[in-house]
Every structure is written in C-alpha cells, then in structure tokens.
Amino acid sequence: MSAETVSLISDIVVGISALGVAVIAFFGLRTWRRELTGKAKFTIARDLMLLGFKIKSNFEDARYLFTYSPEFANRVRKEGEMPNVSQVLDEWYARSDRMKPLYVDLVKMVEVSWEAQILLDKNSSNRISEALATYRERDAELTSAIHSYFDTRKLEETSGQPYKDQDWLEKLHRTIYALPEDDFSKQIDEATNKLESALQAYVK
C-alpha cells in the first residue's frame, strides 16, 4: 500500500470521526437545551404556584375579622386624640399594614409571569394572566375599601353624625371583613385554582 493511499485512508477516517463528533455534539446540545428548558419551566411553574398560595393566604390574613393590639402599637397618636377616633385609626392602621405583604407578592408574581409568557404554552400563559388579573383587581378593591371605609368612619366619629349612605358603608365593610364563603373569597379561590390547573403539568 502506497504512502498516498495510507494518507488518503487516514484523511477519510479523520473526516468520519470529525463528522461523528459533530453529530454527537449536535444531539447532545439538543438534549442539554431540552433538559435546561424543562428545568426552567419547572422552576417558573413552582415559583408561580407558591406565590399563588401565598397571595391567597395574604388575602385571608388581610380580611381576617379581628385585629390585635400589637398590630397598631407603632401607630403615632396625636395629642388629644379622642378614644373613639383612636379605635378607628388603630383598625385602619392594622388593616393597611396587612396589605403590605400582599402588594410585595403581587409585584413578584407580575415579574415571574413575564418569564412564564416566554417559556410556557399560550393556554397556560392566558390562564396565569387571568388569575393574576383577578388578584390585582381584588387587591385594588380591598385597598380602596379600607381607605374609604375608615376615612368615613373617622368622619362619623369626629362629627358625631352617621354617614348618609349606610348601604355603601356596609358594602365596604363586607369587602374588608371576610365571612365564610363570601363572593370575594370565592373569587380568590377560583383564581388560585385556575393558576394551579395551568401549572400542574409543569411541576409533576
């Protein structure tokens, strides 16, 4: 066998080996990317589900019927503040303070949902957006109800006169203070269930 033939065979073997390495690398890269994407989807889905459960719990805490003295111990009281006004302001302070964790977790959910729109399928992304929209609407409703209700109650206690629209005031009261299976709670439950169903396939 001549030197030229040996060189040709050697070049062919090197070429086949290089092609084999390239093919293996290509399929290995695809597998690696698929595994990486799967892990990213799992992480996003897990984070969203945890945030959904936390937000549901935050709403329950915020609307819990009773408040306790440590919750408003840090409120700065004005000199000569009337006891009946103090009681309203204490409750207002406590209720407002309970909304803070809810706001923080909603901001986190918005940020994570942006990633979900990139990684998850369209149907899941839409249901996540719907659940998030419900959370945000109820958060805005509850925040507004707390401010309006206690501002009006303060006015009542200061003036000694009942507010002219007691039906409206009672509606705000029902928003702020949870009752078993009220409409507000049902909407939060439905949003959380929708979120969970959209993510279950990714966290198995």
The parent domain of residue 111 ranges over: 40-202
| Cα(148)–Cα(194) distance, integer angstroms | 31
Whether 34 maps to a domain, the answer reads no
CATH number, domain with residue 183:
1.20.120
Whether 44 maps to a domain, the answer reads yes
Whether 47 maps to a domain, the answer reads yes
Whether 23 maps to a domain, the answer reads no
CA 139 to chain centre: 11
Number of domains within the chain: 1
- pLDDT reading at 187 higher than 90: yes
pLDDT at 202: 80
- Residue 165 φ then ψ, to 5°: -110, 80
Report the percentage of the chain scoring pLDDT > 70.
81
Q: Is the pTM of this model over 0.95?
A: no
Angle, helices 122-159/166-176, rounded to nearest 10 degrees: 130
Whether 50 maps to a domain, the answer reads yes
CB 131 within 8 A of CB 195: yes
Average pLDDT, the chain: 85
Question: What's the Cα-to-Cα distance from 147 to each of 75, 95, 123, rounded to whole Å?
Answer: 16, 9, 37
pLDDT tens column, 74-122: 999 988 899 999 999 999 999 999 999 999 999 999 999 998 888 888 8
pLDDT tens column, 123-134: 889 999 999 999
| Cα(117)–Cα(126) distance, integer angstroms | 8
Whether 132 maps to a domain, the answer reads yes
Whether 11 maps to a domain, the answer reads no
pLDDT tens column, 41-70: 888 889 999 999 999 999 999 999 999 999
pLDDT tens column, 141-176: 999 999 999 999 999 999 999 999 999 999 999 999
